[in-house]
Structure 1
């Protein structure tokens, strides 16, 4: 996701010649908070009040995101009183961060996440690192992935271009899960075009039209998409898109994000975005990739109250 040049840009932006600043950035990566949004999207069913808790980008590894820390995140999330809990992918550690840490078995972190509880269930999509985790998956250009199998083994459904109709107090809504947009690296035969700045890049398993075609009535739709880059193509039919992936830039200085893993730069780096009446919320996530530090972008669990007026954070 992040190149060596990106890492150097981060370090330069932070001025990491300062030991104190470096220590603070590492310490912030171990923090955590709850960020709250309240909104009523256009077309939302009157009287449908829905609370969603969102967990993104865990990147499980020792010592940065241990099972004990995941257990605490689970406990904190369960206490939020969400109707449903959405897991937005990147459960495994990034390959570069893996040089600075020890990977945690998929069974261990999945068993911890299995303790998440909500009346309308826990629902998951995969992220790019979950696809990049295994070279054999990249070679065969298909799943299953280790992360996906681990989640399913503990009873957490994983959505890949699929939907589920749910109801609260007799009022329906749809939950849609998009396949990952960065699932596969470019093939070697594509590499020359890739490095020359051509159009060949990461290859996804996402199918937005196919996903939305499975919706059979006019109940509102919440779309789970690991990367926010899909948002310009999301139609008004979708009430809210929720994403992770960016880590809020992982380093954010007075709102400036030196490096964002998106072809749109900082446009969808973090927070609540509204374009043409369509709503996107991008979580800053919980873990780290490439470098085990955060600065100005602390780890967060996101709570979204839908069907309530106003918008804010807490």
Structure 2
């Protein structure tokens, strides 16, 4: 009979304790109705000497993992849109999973009214998450995002231009439900330009360790959705085991993992507040 290690035993005991807490009236009420609405507006400054001077103070708004459902209905997007537009970002990116297993066609139609109001001078970019390939197929997601003025990108590399200077924007399709074209990224990304990569699952970075990516933006993990104090997530998502939440790395391939807005499978969040992220790029130290 296989014996449990001390670490495994403590993790299991902690898991039982936290789940016990969440089953109490207060614990469940907090994780179900309070923390999922405590949206954290995270602001970061990313320093990179390779960034062209004309892009200094370029602001990116990232939101992710909405998971439209009865726990995150379309009308909840109204306040999200207001918060993003108030910050006047240069570029808005959505890093996947608008869809959830329980979401309805009607919720997607309602969501269009809110997402259409997002505005940024360099546009609105979106990529696919694993749930976006889910219950309705990819068509509903594609039609929703395109109707809202988003450019939906799959395995593409293109340039953003400002005052004659350029940065690269690279995108990968979902790792779980489609085929990410790593070879394209490795082949097309130039080491001479600052490169921003959008990919839903953060552990795509493990395949691109030697590729010159300055900043990768991902979602997918929900920050674990339920975490243990002093330990971290009880469970992590496939392709989200290594990079779970927040900022990783330094000058070589920084990765930022957004905790997302909605929930899936369980309508709970504990020590993993939903978030919107505002990243300001600068070449100044």
TM over 0.5: yes
Contact (CA 8 Å) 1:41, 1:240: kept in 2 or not? no
Correspondence for 1:149: 143
Correspondence for 1:61: 69
Correspondence for 2:162: 168
Correspondence for 1:85: 92
Unaligned segments of structure 2, at least 5 residues: 1-13
Equivalent in 180, 183, 191 of residue 206 of structure 1: 180
Contact (CA 8 Å) 2:217, 2:255: kept in 1 or not? yes
Contact (CA 8 Å) 1:52, 1:82: kept in 2 or not? yes
SS at match of 1:306: strand
Unaligned segments of structure 1, at least 5 residues: 1-8, 138-143, 184-203
Per-residue deviation, 1:129: 0.3
Equivalent in 171, 175, 179 of residue 181 of structure 1: 175
Deviates most, 210-219 or 230-239: 210-219
Contact (CA 8 Å) 1:37, 1:303: kept in 2 or not? yes
Contact (CA 8 Å) 1:60, 1:103: kept in 2 or not? no
Per-residue deviation, 1:212: 4.9
Contact (CA 8 Å) 1:125, 1:224: kept in 2 or not? yes
Equivalent in 198, 211, 220 of residue 245 of structure 1: 220
Residues of 1 paired with 2:64 and 2:113: CA distance?
17
Per-residue deviation, 1:81: 1.8
SS at match of 1:54: strand
Per-residue deviation, 1:43: 3.2
Equivalent in 261, 264, 271 of residue 286 of structure 1: 261
Correspondence for 1:16: 22
Residues of 2 paired with 1:104 and 1:297: CA distance?
28
Equivalent in 269, 294, 297 of residue 272 of structure 2: 297
1:119 pairs with 2:121: yes
Equivalent in 215, 218, 230 of residue 204 of structure 2: 230
Correspondence for 1:106: 108
Contact (CA 8 Å) 2:75, 2:111: kept in 1 or not? no
Residues of 2 paired with 1:10 and 1:164: CA distance?
45
Instruction: List per-residue Cα deviations over 1:239-287 (Å, max 9, x = no partner).
Output: 100000000001123351101103563x211000117822000001100
Instruction: List per-residue Cα deviations over 1:37-73 (Å, max 9, x = no partner).
Output: 11223633345322100010011122x2122210110
Correspondence for 1:259: 235
Residues of 1 paired with 2:202 and 2:166: CA distance?
25
Residues of 2 paired with 1:288 and 1:305: CA distance?
27
TM-score (norm 2): 0.85
SS at match of 1:167: strand
Provide closer, same or farther for how the CA distance between residues 302 and 117 of structure 1 changes in structure 2, counting only shifts above 3 A. Answer: same
| Count of equivalent residues | 267
Correspondence for 2:6: none
Instruction: List per-residue Cα deviations over 1:137-194 (Å, max 9, x = no partner).
Output: 4xxxxxx5310122113321100001231123433111122101011xxxxxxxxxxx
Instruction: List per-residue Cα deviations over 1:221-241 (Å, max 9, x = no partner).
Output: 100000101011223411100
TM-score (norm 1): 0.78
